[in-house]
Structure 1
């Protein structure tokens, strides 16, 4: 697989854009910690002997240099989307030097119109990093969140710095992106390894050349601080927030920096900020293997399953899929006027692991590709994952994703030789996807900006109750991460969904939805240890 965002911002049930972390930069939305926010009196020693500090709370008083940002007035205007208003908010490019210039952030809202006491603003983020929160608000949260929630809250979104409408990070053009996404990430020899390294270097150098001003200032800590400015200018004493996937890391970071300002906060599909990039990637490889096994179990019940029939084991199905990928590596097949090779086919399969509602589509796409040599179905899944349009243009999702990830954590590997040594562990975690996912982590190795973050715990002592949601067979944010984050946060309540797919809220579980809606509307968190199916 390529260094890429994980397929979120796509469609869940009820046309929900997926809020996923994207497979990139260690191919994962990773934890961020600026040096200025590192110090804490509390620390723990990890299994590897590294001392991990907890994210330190920022001073409760607003520094004088930030006062103009906290007191600005937003000028709301029509968005062009019925019912929504848009505005532009200023934030300091560099929080350590607030007089060094601004970054302009796009904000959108849909005002509460229902009966009942208003509850303020509810900020939403779909993940990524790199997913457009405004797109998510306008396409899903602002129209499909429960009516009673939308009636009581102003639904609000801000595209984080470097993302979509907020001074987007720019790197490659459409034709260059086509070449990049097709680069072989399961190199068989030195020539193919060199080609992969060259592709990652070109991507990184292009980001550095085209986005030099912003590239040092797109960390998760900075984005969380931007959210506090937004809270203030909206007139809210506390931040109410629903974040999914990477959005959980963004929300947890806010809680660590501003625990006294946490309102009702839901972190769905949680990340673990205490893990380094290599461990994050390895855990996610195992998560995709778990999801693939669940897909196979479903697939073989159908007579048209191209990976085998009843009695076929996940290992046997994996062998067949791996053999198909190897054939594509040597001989790409036609796909709607283009060609489908191993890299894009793998992307299409992994994209479908995020939502069990996509399994039927994947089964049909694999059947067409494996039996009819028609790759259009898998290519469509891959294009959706990359946010590539029919004209060959791409959103900036992948570019922003890499920029944030590479700033948030040091790279997983120092170079190709380091990846080669780690391959057995990745192959063990996922025989089907592990090697590709290991090689897909190289882009941060060549990033032009040094990481400012390190692995760390987030405790957020003194915060109001925070609901952490984990899905047992989540491929992108493994359930163990939710358990770990809930154990770190001093006020967390863990809500478990015993199911498949990425995230849980709004995906068909009445039990999950009722627990979260009750919390958002009444402030009553679910009981400790609550489990839903």
Structure 2
């Protein structure tokens, strides 16, 4: 359940609308055209803004032993292929914007192990669309990470580029990437699509007996063994620290003195780690939907449980104002109704119209409910799904919501969102909590969330059976000497990254002078959107003009 991805909140609304209207999911294009060099000199060493007039640390100087071929590489941009199954279902091959500006794709070669920079390498998949402004007015590149961890930036940016059009026309080339272990950057694979489906259909809910707990441990160890069999040599190197180092090589290859960055959800964690490792290279940066820096997995999971419970209660309160709310006329009745539904589904899953005959299990229903809480715009689909499940004996809409959350496309193929998420989290912190210790926290989780707590409790044991037990190095976020302020943006009703975590991240980075906090009073995961003029004006002013709002600004 710990998926901190802005893409979930934006993509699910439009995709679900299309799916329900047309009666089927959007089919992805099967084109696999190879990228060709367009000969574009943008990104071939052009020095960008966001720090013009200052000297950054050259990429090669940061890593003794890094070859000139890696340290001084420049990206060869060319045509883009359609998203691959590992990147997730897109809308066909990205070609050009409405003004004719082409999408361009390329790769950046990075070392697998920065302690052995002359060893094996990974080709990191990239995508960009350039700014239309004159060369002398351009601000450089603005690099995006959309969260997860595990979201494909190459697959995501073309789907939501309109949200960032003002930043492009204001002078930034928009750039994103598949982080190491994600999508087409040596994406982690653990199970086949059929094996994932089979596992979901065998779901019997969170374990409630010693026998079921032992089965969970066995399943976790079997899953970890499958990940090791397919991607074992790479797993220890998929840390956030290494992805931050990749971003500094990317900055250098793009020709920018400093990294201008827009991180969302888990991307805020990545951005803070980058600022700690490369404070002198921090350009204009925004961290939206800020992750809690607390390294304690129990505290993290409890915060997630509280966040999703709060979002659910806000939804139920809103639903209860309508005449046809399927969960009753008050929040307490709604919570009890959903608890009963999940219990009933554990015993008897609901049928769906899925062509493979999949049923709505309790786990898939819980995932579908959580998916709809990422954005207030998708509450209507949660109402539809609950009405179907409670009154029509159908699991169609909740299954559809769960599929989008889990990265399952219309052809039954899974992106590598989930295995990448597990691999990155376990690279950052592979410690695992034994079952007897997990169950000691059961009461705390059920108090934090009567609906989600029992499920999220078991997230703290997510690295059971992982092929290593200690992280190569801990994450650190302190960046008091960052060359530019990092603007934090947090939403009071965010289910996935609750507001309190942003306050702690501000302190961890260095306080209000280094990381001013903008508060968005509202619902949903991620605040920046052109529809939210207050947030958009503040963020755009910070990125485009260097006009950073003072700490404490509130948008309602």
TM-score by length of 1: 0.87
SS of match in other structure, 1:10: helix
- Tell me if the contact between 1:10 and 1:16 (Cα under 8 Å) persists in the aligned partners: no
- Tell me if the contact between 1:8 and 1:385 (Cα under 8 Å) persists in the aligned partners: no
Deviations 1:352-397, CA, capped at 9 Å, x for gaps: 1111111000001100011110000100000110111233210111
Q: Is residue 2:352 matched to residue 1:317?
A: no
Picking from 467, 473, 488, the partner of 2:487 is 467
Is 414-423 or 183-192 further displaced after alignment? 183-192
SS of match in other structure, 2:76: coil
- Tell me if the contact between 1:274 and 1:456 (Cα under 8 Å) persists in the aligned partners: no
Deviations 1:420-445, CA, capped at 9 Å, x for gaps: 11100101111111011102332212
Residue 103 of structure 1 deviates from its aligned partner by 1.1
SS of match in other structure, 1:251: helix
Distance 1:499 1:110 in 2: 31
Distance 1:484 1:17 in 2: 34
- Kindly tell me: are residues 377 and 383 of structure 1, through their superposed partners in 2, closer, same or farther at Cα, counting changes over 3 Å? same
Picking from 509, 522, 528, the partner of 1:499 is 522
Q: Is residue 2:440 matched to residue 1:417?
A: no
Residue 455 of structure 1 deviates from its aligned partner by 6.2
Q: Is residue 2:95 matched to residue 1:94?
A: no
SS of match in other structure, 2:184: coil
- Tell me if the contact between 1:17 and 1:140 (Cα under 8 Å) persists in the aligned partners: no
Matched with 1:220 is 240
Matched with 1:334 is 351
1:246-325 pair list within 5 angstroms? 246-309=266-329, 312=330, 314-325=331-342
Matched with 2:204 is 184
- Kindly tell me: are residues 349 and 507 of structure 1, through their superposed partners in 2, closer, same or farther at Cα, counting changes over 3 Å? farther
Is 345-354 or 402-411 further displaced after alignment? 402-411
Paired residues, number: 488
Picking from 104, 122, 131, the partner of 1:112 is 131
- Tell me if the contact between 1:7 and 1:385 (Cα under 8 Å) persists in the aligned partners: no
- Kindly tell me: are residues 282 and 269 of structure 1, through their superposed partners in 2, closer, same or farther at Cα, counting changes over 3 Å? same
Q: Relative CO higher for 1 or 2, CA cutoff 8 Å, sep ≥ 6? A: 1
Q: Is residue 2:449 matched to residue 1:430?
A: yes
Residue 12 of structure 1 deviates from its aligned partner by 1.9
- Tell me if the contact between 1:122 and 1:242 (Cα under 8 Å) persists in the aligned partners: yes
1:97-246 pair list within 5 angstroms? 97-114=116-133, 117-141=137-161, 143-182=162-201, 183-246=203-266
- Kindly tell me: are residues 349 and 281 of structure 1, through their superposed partners in 2, closer, same or farther at Cα, counting changes over 3 Å? same
Distance 1:406 1:119 in 2: 36
- Kindly tell me: are residues 406 and 138 of structure 1, through their superposed partners in 2, closer, same or farther at Cα, counting changes over 3 Å? same
List runs of 5+ in structure 2 lacking aligned partners.
17-56, 82-93, 96-101
1:39-54 pair list within 5 angstroms? none
SS of match in other structure, 1:445: coil
- Tell me if the contact between 1:184 and 1:196 (Cα under 8 Å) persists in the aligned partners: no
Matched with 1:404 is 424
Distance 2:12 2:427 in 1: 34
- Tell me if the contact between 1:17 and 1:136 (Cα under 8 Å) persists in the aligned partners: no
Matched with 1:5 is 3
1:19-30 pair list within 5 angstroms? none
- Kindly tell me: are residues 350 and 58 of structure 1, through their superposed partners in 2, closer, same or farther at Cα, counting changes over 3 Å? farther
Is 105-114 or 245-254 further displaced after alignment? 105-114
List runs of 5+ in structure 1 lacking aligned partners.
19-56
- Tell me if the contact between 1:180 and 1:199 (Cα under 8 Å) persists in the aligned partners: no
Matched with 2:65 is 65
SS of match in other structure, 2:263: strand
Distance 1:275 1:5 in 2: 16
- Tell me if the contact between 2:3 and 2:421 (Cα under 8 Å) persists in the aligned partners: yes
Distance 1:512 1:88 in 2: 33
Distance 1:487 1:197 in 2: 37
SS of match in other structure, 1:241: strand
